[in-house]
Amino acid sequence: MPKSLMLVELLAPWLTIPAKEKLDIRVERLELDSRRVSSGCTFVAVNGHSVDGRDFIDSAVFKGANAVIAQANEINPHGIIDWRDKVPVIYIEGLHQHLSQMANRLIPLEHNRLIAVTGTNGKTTITQLIAQWLCLLGEKTAVLGTTGNGFLEQLQPATNTTGHAFEIQHTLSDLERQGARYTAMEVSSHGLVQGRVKALKFAVGVFSNLSRDHLDYHGTMEHYALAKRSLFSEHHCSRSVINIDDPIGASWAAELHPCIPVSLSPIKSGQGVYATHIDYSDSGIEITFSGQFGDGCFFVPLIGEFNASNVLLAFATILSLGYEKNALIDTANQLKSVLGRMELFQAVGKAKIVVDYAHTPDALEKALLALKKHCRGRLWAIFGCGGDRDKGKRPLMAAIGESLADTVILTDDNPRSEQPTEIVKDMLNGMMSPTKVIVEHDRYQALAYALQHSNADDIIFLAGKGHEDYQIIGDERRHYSDRESAAQLLELTL
């Protein structure tokens, strides 16, 4: 529950303020955005990735901030107190790395146990499977992540996969107040590097996989991997659940203690949780498992090999929390596919449409390989690449689509400020036979074309946007949903 602290008490871990300064100020709410400052609020001014909050100190003071905590620099070094219109501005060294601890001091958690999931792909599915399963066991569980924050039946939209430190703490506190016993959080590499969850204590940390993504931010795969690993090396995780089918995960598992390795193949040591047999059918996946928690078998109504991995990771996570194996087995068939994640749309006499968020080479490859096991006819792939993002993955994704799908339609994702024709040109450069590729920039029309030219045994994979209900074209955010397009064209009700 939120509480209030005196300013000198809040800042005590980083700065001892002389009594002569007489900073008799009570802090009840911290705010990073000067536009949201109101009377009695304490403004925190940090130098962010794109905006320097210190440029808005005067604006925050004008709006009624009772104090300002600012990131120190050469002009205003650590410990300096600058007064503006009788409002103190206190400068702290490395403030951006202290926000999580600051938020935790002001808004401590008491009963909400946290589960962190990181990795390139699968974070949303794993967190939501964990939440679904725990709810089936009678535990009120929430999620924080890409598709929204809150309880599964009433998710609130999220701006980022991992919000800023104050936002996270407020949300977790609100969920605790509403009765959440657990919250499964997607933790992005950006969130880890920027210290947004630094002070949180995680009951379990989960790693799904690592493949090319966000190199426009991290620069290299090595830096990207280190960002993900920091969840386990620089944050508080009581235990780790690691996918060792991923080479990076396998190398980490040998170093992390305590660690529960998870694999779709038998583990020689007998530790962790691993599959001894997997059966894929049109209706779902049956997994026979063994390991340190015993043997068993369960069925889940999900599609694809990577979902078998996601389910096993969720399964191992909940077992590590002390829940009974048989209770999980008995409820597994009640799990549901996650919104916009390998979500199946079907109507009699028409091709099946599968909507997914896959927007990296690895995710696209895994999804298409998974669908090939289920497809009795032709496999169609419709996808694009985002503008103003990593250009290196464009030819890679196009090549994967060409090699695994029978027909490829290149379309627009979020072109942003780039010309869609230039994005498609980059993609075509990765293909062996670019003249055989269909280009349709309008996503709805691309799907309509595929439906018109496909048969009932075909599967149409529509990738890249998943749960999203918008497209960013130029500076404009337009309403668009792959899920709505699929439902409309198949005459279904969402």
Residue 102 is assigned to a structural domain of this protein: no
Tell whether 359 and 465 lie within a shared domain.
yes
**Per the annotation, does 119 bind a ligand?**
yes
**Per the annotation, does 122 bind a ligand?**
yes
Phi/psi of residue 274, nearest 5 degrees: -145, 155
Residue 138 is assigned to a structural domain of this protein: yes
**Per the annotation, does 415 bind a ligand?**
yes
Q: What is the CATH number of the domain that holds 379?
A: 3.90.190.20
pLDDT for 402: 98
Residue 470 is assigned to a structural domain of this protein: yes
pLDDT for 14: 96
Residue 322 is assigned to a structural domain of this protein: yes
**Per the annotation, does 265 bind a ligand?**
no
Residue 494 is assigned to a structural domain of this protein: no
What is the rounded (10 degree) CA torsion for 420, 421, 423, 424? 120
Tell whether 363 and 429 lie within a shared domain.
yes
Tell whether 140 and 79 lie within a shared domain.
no
Tell whether 314 and 358 lie within a shared domain.
no
**Per the annotation, does 160 bind a ligand?**
yes
pLDDT for 120: 87
Tell whether 373 and 420 lie within a shared domain.
yes
**Per the annotation, does 389 bind a ligand?**
yes
Q: What is the CATH number of the domain that holds 20?
A: 3.40.1390.10
Tell whether 289 and 316 lie within a shared domain.
yes
Amino acid at 61: V
**Per the annotation, does 331 bind a ligand?**
no
| Strand-pair partners of 383 | 410
Instruction: Kindly give the interhelix angle for 482-489 and 443-452, rounded to the nearest 10 degrees.
Output: 30
Tell whether 300 and 435 lie within a shared domain.
no
The bridge status of strand 470-473 relative to strand 476-479 is: antiparallel
Which residue among 279, 301, 334 closes a domain? 334
pLDDT for 115: 98
Each residue of 321-343: pLDDT tens digit? 999 999 999 999 999 988 898 99
Q: What is the CATH number of the domain that holds 166?
A: 3.40.1190.10
Tell whether 132 and 84 lie within a shared domain.
no
Q: Which residue has the tokens 């007064």?
A: 83
**Per the annotation, does 192 bind a ligand?**
no
pLDDT for 469: 93
**Per the annotation, does 29 bind a ligand?**
no
Q: From CA 79, how far away is CA 422, in angstroms rounded?
A: 51
Which residue among 334, 353, 380 closes a domain? 334
User: Which residue range forms the structural domain that includes residue 443?
Assistant: 343-489
Each residue of 423-475: pLDDT tens digit? 999 999 999 999 999 999 999 999 999 999 999 999 999 999 999 999 999 99
Q: Provide CB contacts within 8 A for 247, sequence distance 6+.
A: none
**Per the annotation, does 416 bind a ligand?**
yes
Tell whether 203 and 221 lie within a shared domain.
yes
Task: DSSP for 64-129, please give it.
Answer: T-SEEEEE--SSS-TT-EEEETTEEEEEETTGGGTHHHHHHHHS--SS-EEEEEESSSSHHHHHHH
Tell whether 270 and 403 lie within a shared domain.
no
Tell me which residue of 113, 100, 128 sits closest to 176, measured CA to CA: 113
- Cα→Cα distances 397→54, 290, 366, 378, 414, Å: 41, 35, 12, 19, 15
What's the structural domain count of the chain?
3
**Per the annotation, does 195 bind a ligand?**
no
Tell whether 121 and 183 lie within a shared domain.
yes
Q: From CA 450, how far away is CA 435, in angstroms rounded?
A: 17
Q: From CA 320, how far away is CA 309, in angstroms rounded?
A: 16
pLDDT for 191: 86
Residue 275 is assigned to a structural domain of this protein: yes
Residue 103 is assigned to a structural domain of this protein: no
Q: From CA 102, how far away is CA 234, in angstroms rounded?
A: 17
**Per the annotation, does 435 bind a ligand?**
no
Tell whether 228 and 127 lie within a shared domain.
yes
The answer to whether 116 touches 204, Cβ cutoff 8 Å, is: yes
**Per the annotation, does 493 bind a ligand?**
no
Residue 355 is assigned to a structural domain of this protein: yes
Which residue among 97, 131, 151 closes a domain? 97
- Core vs surface per residue 447-485: b (16+ CB within 10 A) or e: bebbbeebeeebbbbbbbbbbbeebbbeeeeeebbbbeb
**pLDDT lower than 50: segments of the chain:** none
- Cα→Cα distances 39→4, 57, 67, Å: 15, 14, 10
